[in-house]
């Protein structure tokens, strides 16, 4: 039996800007992921840098932090069976060019930078990321 988990999802600036939040939320709920908390916010570059610090040594880090803080985002806690893996599957590959048919990134992603959505990649990171946005 799979366990009920929570994971963090972020609708990134490119998707919020194109009014895709409701469409993306529908994909989650159709796939049995319940949206238990949600807020639309804009974060500072410093907050983005903190959120993405696992990537601080990567060549794209600076650009990534600039991008996530460039406009409004919608952050959500998703809950369901095996939610972390289920969400990653629904999102699709990091680069929309490699994403499978039917995934959010295939449908809406514009590029590896503007790939429309973030999702936690492990139980540990889901916990940290939920805390980052929802428990202050």
d(CA 107, CA 117): 11
Closest residue to ligand IDP, based on beta-carbon distance = 94
Options 16-24, 25-33, 73-81, 107-115: segment touching ligand IDP (CB under 6 A): 107-115
6 vs 84: CA distance, rounded Å? 7
Residues 53-92 that bind ligand IDP (CB under 6 A): 55, 60, 64
CB 84 within 8 A of CB 120: yes
In angstroms, give the least distance from the CB of 125 to ligand IDP. Answer: 9
Please answer whether residues 78 and 95 qualify as being in contact, where contact means their C-beta atoms are separated by less than 8 angstroms: no
Residue (82 or 121) nearer to Mg ion, CB: 121
- The least CB distance from residue 128 to Mg ion, in Å, is 12
């Amino acid at each position: 039996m799979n366990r009920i988990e929570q994971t963090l999802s972020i609708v990134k600036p490119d998707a919020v800007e194109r009014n895709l939040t409701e469409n993306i939320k529908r994909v989650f709920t159709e796939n049995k992921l319940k949206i238990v908390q949600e807020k639309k916010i804009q974060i500072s570059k410093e907050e983005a840098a903190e959120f993405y610090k696992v990537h601080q040594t990567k060549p794209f880090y600076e650009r990534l932090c600039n991008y996530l803080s460039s406009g409004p985002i919608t952050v959500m806690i998703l809950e369901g069976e095996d939610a972390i893996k289920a969400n990653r599957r629904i999102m699709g590959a990091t680069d929309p060019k490699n994403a499978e048919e039917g995934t959010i990134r295939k449908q809406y992603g514009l590029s590896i930078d503007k790939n429309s959505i973030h999702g936690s990649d492990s139980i540990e990171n889901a916990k940290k990321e939920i805390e980052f946005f929802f428990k202050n």
